[in-house]
């Protein structure tokens, strides 16, 4: 045996090996392409394994990215190669492994972390996995003499299994080879009226039954409630038919199609029709929907059309699933039982084979961007997966992201543009009225000076419209994208100037009322003040700690809006308890709570539904006649170049909830900036003009999508260390850019901005400094980042975050 060999005695040295990307922050020069381990021939690329890592041989999960012979050793001594500890079986497709390599390179993260993100934690932990015994009947040989008792048992089994025959055939329909065959133990005991497993064991010993063991995933949890059954598939409108007929011939090849359709134009029906065509020949499909839009109403449309229990059925993945349910759904997809996957951001990693179509609904939604390692954008990952798998990708939205719009309408379009300019019902877009809040408040103060210093969420115009809508039997949706009761707690004395801020973050504390403590034992008087970033909480101070004057909670939140609605409308319209309901993260503890509220709203039990952006998408209720935007300015003045785009999208999307069926509907937008182009153009439903103007502004400013951007943020409890690390990264980036310019014989046109404190300069007790890298294209940025990464200065960890194509700069 060679000195130090891991294989003792006369054991033969391994000849089969696997490259494994471990689920750790091992970056480029330390194993970007994986670590080599001895493996048996059953291990394949994409399989999850457990391997010994480091000198202590710590058992560590990882994904196999390649298998082969001695060529994988790269000259390493074969006698020192460690063996794989455990082959877990759950696997990713070859296309996903290739996709993970692209994610690791493009988004600057370790390959093992990219692969780990693709497989749900419930799958890696085996939650819900169990061994199930299944039985098959073996009829006795003809002419063989049997004892009377055995003969009766055989006759009973023949009758029982004859009854199961059709059921077994249905169970196996669409199953992958090797699926569990036979009758489960509980079902067989019930059919034979037996109580004990020992009776089945006796039948096995007699040779009448054969038992086999199968690994299955059992799910437990609350099933997603469904609303009233959906209507039959409608006849396509001419616009819808044009889109379907235009994309259908292109289903066999990669291409990106941008579908801009106004709210209520029937984009979902276009998806359904194309999904049916794409999967007709045995193909599979993925439909991405923002988490807040993935309601029972949304998922049920897909389930109603394609089923859930048959071959080609739908699997739905969302945050409301229990861990075992998530594992069971993922397993249905992996085995090919479910062929259409509907889910939020991570559903793009569903392990489907023969992928024929990808749909990204509400493609502009910022929730598609993950805010932790790996910081991928699901829309862009969907496009890359479509390219790898050779299938088309449809991006749908009423208000496309400016990146997608530029790619579809630029001088050299990369995407094909399709449009649905009118509502499928023929009803006009809702009337949008802009209300100047400042003017209304001045008018109130003139009429009643005692109200001059009172804060009202609902102005006179909106109040009158709510009254009218309720009297006519309609329903109301009100949007205020700010949780809590008051977002500003201060001393009322301007000479003092004390403002309550979070001890860990550069942010003000927010007052929440009717919030129980963790013990659920008592309700703190006055409420709790909370930080929405680090989630720290404490009791509301009654007096200013500087001058001892009573504190003044100021500003609007959904809780204060709810109080005002109850006071103004509950008694006036004889509303029952619950008729006014708030929808935000504080009022719901689970997805089931949200789904229950939507059910009650669909049945008319709730008359007014108010909430944050959770109610701005994915809702289609015919009786909603009025939508109110309480404060359209919440995002407009943030220090972010996308703030105007976000405002336009939010106002346009929530306005689309009104008048979707028989009546036009009304939208009231309250704002302190009534002349702002984003507000004015959203009120006119004029996306094209908004996009044209905003793209021109971005081009003049050198901001995306006219350019490409990456952002590096350094973090540390010591502000000096955080700044120095950012400055070091910036200097190395500039050196790399200068070297790139020399190699190319000119200026690569990549600029590195100055290091500066982030707008949120401190979060979770850590100071934050950032710098932006801007270039005409993604390639130049990638080369610069790779140069710094190779020197070990750009490792994504607790102290450094690299965000390629950021969607927010806070």
Predicted confidence at residue 173, as pLDDT, reads: 43
Question: Is there a contact between 552 and 492 (Cβ–Cβ < 8 Å)?
Answer: yes
Average pLDDT over residues 640-654: 93
What is the spatial distance between Cα 459 and Cα 440, in angstroms, rounded to a whole number? 7
Neighbour-count burial for 621-631, b at 16+ CB within 10 Å, e otherwise = bebbbbbbbbb
Q: What are the pLDDT digits (tens) for 10-68?
A: 667 888 999 999 998 776 554 457 899 999 989 999 999 999 998 899 999 999 999 99
Helix axes of 296-306 and 591-602: crossing angle, nearest 10 degrees: 80
- Residue 437 reports pLDDT greater than 50: yes
Q: Is 43 left (phi over 0), alpha (psi -120 to 50) or beta?
A: beta
Q: Is 755 left (phi over 0), alpha (psi -120 to 50) or beta?
A: beta
Predicted confidence at residue 165, as pLDDT, reads: 52
Lowest mean pLDDT among 139-153, 325-339, 454-468, 658-672: 139-153
Q: Which of the four pLDDT bands, split at 50, 70 and 90, describes residue 1?
A: very low
Q: Which residues contact 502 (CB under 8 A, 6 or more apart)?
A: 508, 509, 531, 533, 534, 536
What is the spatial distance between Cα 768 and Cα 712, in angstroms, rounded to a whole number? 10
3-state secondary structure at position 148 = helix
Average pLDDT over residues 649-665: 83
Beta bridge partners of 287: 342, 359
- Smallest Cα–Cα separation from 18: which of 59, 77, 62, 75? 62
3-state secondary structure at position 725 = helix
Structural Rg of the chain based on CA atoms = 30
What is the spatial distance between Cα 641 and Cα 432, in angstroms, rounded to a whole number? 26
- Smallest Cα–Cα separation from 424: which of 650, 662, 652? 662
Q: What are the pLDDT digits (tens) for 491-510?
A: 999 899 899 999 999 999 99
> Residue 540, Cα to own-chain centre: how many angstroms?
34
Q: Please provide residue 471's backbone torsions phi and psi, each rounded to the nearest 5 degrees.
A: -65, -35
Question: Is there a contact between 712 and 773 (Cβ–Cβ < 8 Å)?
Answer: yes
What percentage of the chain carries pLDDT values higher than 90? 54
Average pLDDT over residues 444-451: 77
What is the spatial distance between Cα 531 and Cα 511, in angstroms, rounded to a whole number? 9
Q: Is the pTM of this model over 0.85?
A: yes
Q: Which of the four pLDDT bands, split at 50, 70 and 90, describes residue 137?
A: confident
Helices and strands, number each (H, E), in the chain: 21, 31
558, 563, 566, 796 from 516: Cα distances, Å: 17, 18, 21, 37
- Residue 240 reports pLDDT greater than 60: yes
Average pLDDT over residues 580-590: 87
Average pLDDT over residues 114-141: 86
- DSSP H helices in 22-120: 94-106, 111-118
Q: Please provide residue 395's backbone torsions phi and psi, each rounded to the nearest 5 degrees.
A: -105, 120
Q: CA torsion, points 781, 785, 787, 789, in degrees to nearest 10?
A: -170
Predicted confidence at residue 797, as pLDDT, reads: 76
Predicted confidence at residue 221, as pLDDT, reads: 55
Predicted confidence at residue 486, as pLDDT, reads: 93
Q: Which of the four pLDDT bands, split at 50, 70 and 90, describes residue 132?
A: confident
Predicted confidence at residue 738, as pLDDT, reads: 86
- Residue 340 reports pLDDT greater than 80: yes
- Smallest Cα–Cα separation from 712: which of 635, 619, 785? 785
Predicted confidence at residue 476, as pLDDT, reads: 95
- Residue 328 reports pLDDT greater than 70: yes
Most confidently modeled range among 125-139, 404-418, 435-449: 404-418
Lowest mean pLDDT among 64-68, 343-347, 743-747: 743-747
Average pLDDT over residues 450-478: 89
Lowest mean pLDDT among 158-167, 354-363, 412-421, 474-483: 158-167
Q: Which of the four pLDDT bands, split at 50, 70 and 90, describes residue 619?
A: confident
Average pLDDT over residues 381-406: 97
- Bond from prior residue into 374 cis (ω within 30 degrees of 0): yes
Predicted confidence at residue 523, as pLDDT, reads: 57
Q: Is 309 left (phi over 0), alpha (psi -120 to 50) or beta?
A: alpha
281, 296, 706, 794 from 746: Cα distances, Å: 52, 56, 21, 25
Predicted confidence at residue 521, as pLDDT, reads: 46
Average pLDDT over residues 514-538: 74
Q: What are the pLDDT digits (tens) for 253-280?
A: 999 999 999 998 999 999 999 999 999 9
Q: Calculate the average pLDDT of the chain.
A: 86
């Amino acid at each position: 045996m060679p000195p130090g060999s891991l294989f003792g005695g006369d054991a033969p040295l391994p000849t089969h090996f696997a490259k494994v990307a471990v689920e750790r922050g091992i970056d480029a020069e330390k194993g970007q392409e994986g670590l080599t381990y001895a493996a048996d021939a059953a291990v394949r690329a994409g399989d999850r394994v457990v391997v010994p890592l480091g000198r202590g041989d710590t058992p560590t999960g990882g994904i196999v990215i390649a298998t082969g012979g001695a060529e994988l050793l790269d000259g390493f001594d074969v006698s020192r190669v460690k063996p794989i500890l455990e082959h877990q079986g759950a696997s990713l497709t070859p296309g996903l492994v290739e996709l993970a390599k692209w994610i690791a390179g493009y988004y600057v993260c370790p390959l093992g972390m990219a692969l780990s993100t693709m497989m749900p934690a419930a799958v890696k932990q085996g939650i819900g996995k169990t061994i199930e015994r299944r039985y098959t009947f073996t009829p006795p040989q003809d002419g063989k003499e049997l004892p009377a008792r055995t003969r009766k048992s055989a006759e009973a089994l023949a009758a029982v299994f004859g009854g199961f025959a059709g059921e077994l055939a249905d169970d196996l329909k669409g199953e992958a080879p090797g699926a569990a065959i036979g009758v489960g133990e509980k079902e067989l005991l019930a059919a034979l009226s037996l109580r004990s497993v020992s009776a089945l064991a006796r039948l096995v010993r007699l040779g009448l039954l054969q038992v086999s063991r199968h690994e299955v995933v059992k799910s437990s949890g609350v099933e997603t409630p469904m609303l009233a059954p959906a209507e039959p598939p409608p006849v396509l409108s001419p616009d819808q038919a044009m889109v379907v007929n235009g994309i259908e011939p292109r289903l066999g090849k990669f291409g990106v199609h941008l579908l801009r359709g106004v709210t209520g134009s029937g984009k979902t029906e276009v998806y359904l029709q194309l999904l049916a065509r794409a999967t007709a020949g045995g193909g599979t499909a993925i439909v991405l929907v923002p988490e807040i839009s993935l309601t029972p109403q949304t998922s049920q449309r897909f389930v109603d059309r394609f089923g859930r229990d048959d071959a080609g059925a739908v699997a739905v993945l969302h945050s409301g699933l229990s861990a075992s349910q998530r594992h069971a759904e993922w397993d249905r997809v992996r085995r090919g039982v479910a062929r259409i996957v509907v889910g939020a951001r991570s559903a793009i990693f569903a392990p489907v084979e023969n992928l024929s179509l990808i749909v990204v609904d509400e493609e502009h939604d910022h929730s598609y961007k993950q805010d932790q390692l790996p910081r991928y954008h699901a829309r862009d990952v969907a496009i890359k997966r479509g390219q790898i798998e050779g299938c088309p990708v449809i991006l749908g939205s009423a208000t496309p992201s400016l990146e997608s719009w530029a790619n579809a309408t630029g001088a050299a379009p990369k995407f094909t543009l399709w449009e649905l300019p009118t509502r499928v019902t023929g009803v006009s877009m809702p009337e949008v009225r802009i209300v100047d809040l400042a003017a209304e408040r001045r008018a109130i103060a003139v009429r009643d000076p005692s109200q001059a210093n009172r804060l009202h969420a609902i102005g006179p115009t909106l109040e009158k419209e709510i009254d009218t809508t309720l009297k006519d039997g309609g329903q109301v949706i009100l949007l205020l994208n700010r949780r809590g009761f008051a977002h500003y707690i201060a001393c009322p004395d301007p000479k003092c100037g004390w403002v309550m801020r979070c001890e860990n973050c550069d942010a003000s504390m927010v007052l929440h009322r009717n919030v129980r403590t963790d013990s659920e034992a008592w309700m703190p008087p006055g409420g709790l003040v909370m930080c929405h970033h680090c989630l720290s909480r404490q009791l509301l101070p009654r007096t200013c700690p500087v001058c001892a004057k009573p504190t003044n909670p100021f500003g609007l939140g959904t809780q204060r809006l709810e109080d005002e609605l109850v006071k103004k409308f509950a008694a006036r319209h004889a509303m029952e308890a619950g008729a006014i309901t708030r929808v935000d993260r504080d009022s719901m503890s689970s997805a089931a709570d949200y789904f229950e509220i939507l059910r009650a709203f669909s049945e008319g039990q709730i008359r007014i539904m108010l909430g944050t952006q959770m109610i701005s998408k994915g809702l289609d209720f015919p009786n909603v006649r009025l939508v109110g935007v309480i404060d359209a300015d919440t995002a407009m003045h943030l220090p972010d170049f996308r703030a105007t785009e976000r405002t336009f999208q939010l106002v346009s999307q929530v306005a689309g909830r009104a008048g979707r069926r028989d009546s036009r509907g009304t939208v009231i937008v309250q704002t302190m900036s009534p002349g702002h182009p984003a507000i004015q153009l959203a009120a006119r439903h004029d996306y094209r003009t908004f996009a044209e103007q905003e793209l021109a502004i971005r081009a003049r400013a050198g901001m995306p999508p006219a350019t490409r951007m990456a952002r590096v943020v350094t973090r540390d409890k010591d502000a000096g260390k955080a700044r120095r690390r950012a400055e070091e990264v910036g200097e190395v980036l500039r050196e790399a850019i200068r070297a790139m310019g020399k190699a190319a014989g000119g200026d690569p046109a990549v600029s590195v901005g100055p290091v500066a404190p982030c707008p949120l300069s401190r979060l979770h007790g850590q100071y934050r400094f950032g710098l932006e890298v801007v270039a005409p294209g993604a390639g130049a940025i990638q080369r610069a980042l790779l140069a710094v990464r190779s020197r070990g200065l750009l490792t994504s960890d607790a102290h450094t975050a690299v965000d390629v194509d950021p969607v927010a700069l806070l």
